[in-house]
Amino acid sequence: MLINVCTLPQEKRLAAADVIRTLTDFNLPELKYFSDLPCPRHASIDEGQEQVPPCRRCSIRFRKHQRVGIAWLWMRGKGLIADQMGTGKTATAAGLLACAKEAGELDDSRALVVCRAAAVGQWKQEMDRFIPAIPSTVAKGTRKQRIERYLSGWDLLVAGQQIFLNDAELLDEVNIRTLVVDDVDALRNPRNRTAYYLKRLARSCRRVVVMTGTPLQKRLPEIHSILEPLDGWQTFGSLTRFRASYVRDELVEIYNPKLGRKIKTKRDVGYQNMDDFVAKFRPYVLRRTPADITDVEMPALIPNTVWIDLHQAQRERYADLRKGVLKVIKEHGTHVRKADAVARWTYGAQICAGLSTLGEPDGPGTSAKLDWIENKLDGDLAEDKVVIFCRFTNTAESLQARLARMGIGQVTIWGREPDKDLRLARQNQFWDDPATRVLIGTEAIEQSINLQCARHLINVDQLLNPARMQQLASRVKRIGSAYHTVFVHSLLARATQEEGVLDLLEREQALTDYVWGEANELFEALHPLALLELIGGTRT
């Protein structure tokens, strides 16, 4: 049995954790509660006899970076796992839970995973795959049904953020001492109610794991909020003290559209004492990139920017939009309202996607992008599984109809059908059914969905945030991919606002470079006028 390290002096545990986080491998003891067995379908295949295709029902053997991550979390107690997306953070969390069970920590307490609602089914499926001997359940159903579940026999509960928020008072009564938070977004804002209850629960937990796959953003106060459930306040103090130590602010003049004049306000203008911040921050965090993973091959990602000429009807509609935008710029200049700029930007993106996105009938000459997809699925990509991202549901509907006419098997995951079980069933169908070649997804597939059975991702639309586009790419670029190379095809319309997008994905990476020691692309927020200038073709 593993020793319950929570009984060791904190200084010894943290010192050991600091040593472990520098290692490239760690010799974990055999964990009887973690299954490394193949599924029944692949159990008869001898190792080395035949390559087993990617299977989400077979369990895994820990990679080196996962063994280090489990050991680091085991000694530290509370930490942030920030490994890049697709590197197997869920298995690391499962390994920690297996350690906790084996050491007897779950004999007198329970564990809770809080994640996005869309990820609940996948978390339960992964826990059943990795740690099947640990009784687990999902927080779902009516309030009465959930209460009955909370009172039943389980060691691990998986809950979506909204249900956790609704039932926070109830969950206080079930003796949770291990907390896993998948997705830090709810923790970024200290005034968020979900963040409040997560931090309150974390104070009574002996183990807290926060997981993120994207680099923390450039706002240091967000990092302070994320570190609070990890006892970061012991190092950094209150937010007021933190800001005084590391954030520089000045009085600046900004235009207030409601008042119609400039006003003076405090604004963060930079940071200070960063060497001190990084030295104190690093012990709380473990982050590995694909370059750090040497015992398994991550697929190489090849981006393919595809420039497309709009059809005549699309060009005419976009020309009308451009005339209106140029008029707005001339009349209002820098006083353009953000809501007006975003609305026109969205309208331009819909035209580029296809006129059916605006609610018009789909057909010949209405969408150059969907025509390109049809040609590729019937040509170069005829033998591959493909994920297609559409920002707009009308675009997805048109694509559904086109693929149905072509006889191409497909499933769709989108916000119109939020049922978590249905989404998981469609994800499983895409994996398991050879005839289901295409998965169409809206922003519902951005996070917490594994699609490494596909070799291609086609982006019909671009999101104005490189981190979110990277999240989409990570649906297919993951450990366990069937391919050495995966492709991301980004469809961009010539002579439109999309021509300027790539040039404006500037590298605002000073802070993240300093904190992580790596380069990360972050999108520089555009002034409303800049959005209109892109549409109007006046921005260079």
Q: Which range (227-231, 303-307, 533-537) has the least confidence?
A: 533-537
Cα 326–Cα 327–Cα 331 angle in degrees, nearest 5: 120
Angstrom distance (rounded) from CA 388 to CA 420: 20
CATH architecture of the region 300-536: 3-Layer(aba) Sandwich (3.40)
**pLDDT confidence of residue 249:** 80
User: Matching CATH topology for 5-232 and 300-536?
Assistant: yes
How many angstroms separate the first and last alpha carbons of the chain? 65
Res. 400: pLDDT tops 70: yes
Q: How far apart are CA 423 and CA 413, in angstroms?
A: 6
Contact 515, 217 (CB under 8 A): no
516 pLDDT band (50/70/90 cuts)? low
Given this model, what pLDDT does residue 95 score?
96
Mean pLDDT within 25-32 = 92
Residue 8 or residue 404, greater confidence = 404
Q: What pLDDT band is residue 205 in, cutting at 50, 70 and 90? A: very high
**DSSP characters for 291-309?**
GG--SSPPPEEEEEEEEEP
How many alpha carbons lie under 13 Å from residue 445 in its C-beta half-sphere? 31
Specify whether domain 5-232 bears CATH 3.40.50.10810. yes
Task: Count Cβ atoms within 10 A of the Cβ of residue 315 and give its class: 0-12 exposed, 13-18 middle, 19 or more buried.
Answer: middle
Q: What is the pLDDT of residue 527?
A: 53
Which pLDDT does position 392 carry in this prediction?
Answer: 96
* Structure token pair of residue 338: 């953000």
Q: Output the pTM of the full model.
A: 0.76
User: What is the side-by-side order of every strand in the sheet holding 285-286?
Assistant: 136-138, 156-160, 110-115, 176-182, 207-211, 78-81, 285-286
Return d(Cα 307, Cα 305) in angstroms, integer.
6
Nearest 10 degrees: CA dihedral of 310, 314, 316, 320? -120
Residues 6+ apart with CB under 8 A from 319: none
Alpha helix (H) residue ranges in 333-446:
338-353, 368-377, 393-406, 420-432
State the greatest distance between any 2 C-alpha atoms of the chain, in Å, as a whole number: 75
- Average pLDDT for 408-420: 91
CA distance 218 to 221: 9
| pLDDT above 70 coverage of the chain, percent | 87
pLDDT tens figures, 303-322: 888 999 999 999 999 999 99
Per the model's pLDDT, the better-predicted residue between 397 and 467 turns out to be: 397
Q: Which residue has the higher pLDDT, 356 or 469?
A: 356
Q: Amino acid letter at 266?
A: K
Which range in 42-51, 179-188, 343-352, 413-422 is most confidently predicted, on average pLDDT?
343-352
Region 40-57 average pLDDT: 62
pLDDT of res. 507: 41
pLDDT digits (tens, 9 = 90+) for 251-293: 777 777 777 778 877 777 778 888 899 899 999 999 887 777 7
- DSSP-based three-state secondary structure for 410: strand
Q: What angle do CA 119, 99, 90 make, to 5 degrees?
A: 20
Is the CB of residue 480 less than 8 Å from the CB of residue 54?
yes
pLDDT, tens digit, 9 for 90 and up, residues 427-486: 999 999 999 999 999 999 987 788 999 999 999 998 877 777 888 888 898 888 878 899
What is the structure's pLDDT at 366?
Answer: 97
**Residue 214 CB neighbour total at 10 angstroms:** 22
47 pLDDT above the threshold of 80: no
Confidence band, pLDDT 50/70/90 cuts, at residue 387: very high
136 contacts 127 by C-beta, under 8 angstroms: yes
**Which of the four pLDDT bands, split at 50, 70 and 90, describes residue 26?**
very high
Computed from CA positions of residues 424, 425, 428, 430, in that sequence, does the dihedral angle turn out positive or negative? negative
In sequence order, the β-bridge partners of residue 176 are: 110
pLDDT in tens, 236-245: 999 999 988 9
Q: Is the pLDDT of residue 508 over 70?
A: no
Place of tokens 């290692």: 23
82-270-262 Cα angle (round to 5): 125
State percent of the chain over pLDDT 90: 57
Bigger pLDDT: 82 vs 216: 82
pLDDT for residue 5? 76
Please state, in angstroms and rounded to a whole number, the distance separating the CA atoms of residues 86 and 139.
26
192-219: average pLDDT: 86
Angstrom distance (rounded) from CA 466 to CA 92: 26
Neighbours of 270 (CB within 10 A): 12
Q: How confident is the model at residue 370 (pLDDT cuts 50, 70, 90)?
A: very high
Q: Calculate the CA 78 to chain-centre distance.
A: 21
pLDDT given for residue 463 in this prediction: 82
What CA–CA distance (Å, rounded) separates 470 from 217?
14
Q: Which two tokens stand for residue 151?
A: 């009172």
Which pLDDT belongs to residue 250?
79
Average pLDDT, the chain: 86
Q: What is the reported pLDDT for 234?
A: 92
The CA distance from 307 to 319, in Å, is: 18
All structural domains of the chain with their residue ranges: 5-232, 300-536
Task: Read off the pLDDT of each residue in 394-420 and give the average, rounded to a whole number.
Answer: 94
pLDDT(141) > 80: yes
- Comparing CA positions, the residue from 317, 293, 285, 341 lying closest to residue 72 is 285
> Which has more confidence, 280 or 505?
280
Q: List, in sequence order, every beta strand (DSSP E) within 144-274.
A: 156-160, 176-182, 207-211, 247-256, 261-271
**Type of residue numbered 156:** L
82-133 per-position pLDDT tens digit = 887 778 899 999 999 999 999 999 998 999 999 988 889 889 999 999 999 9
Tokens of 191: 């005034």
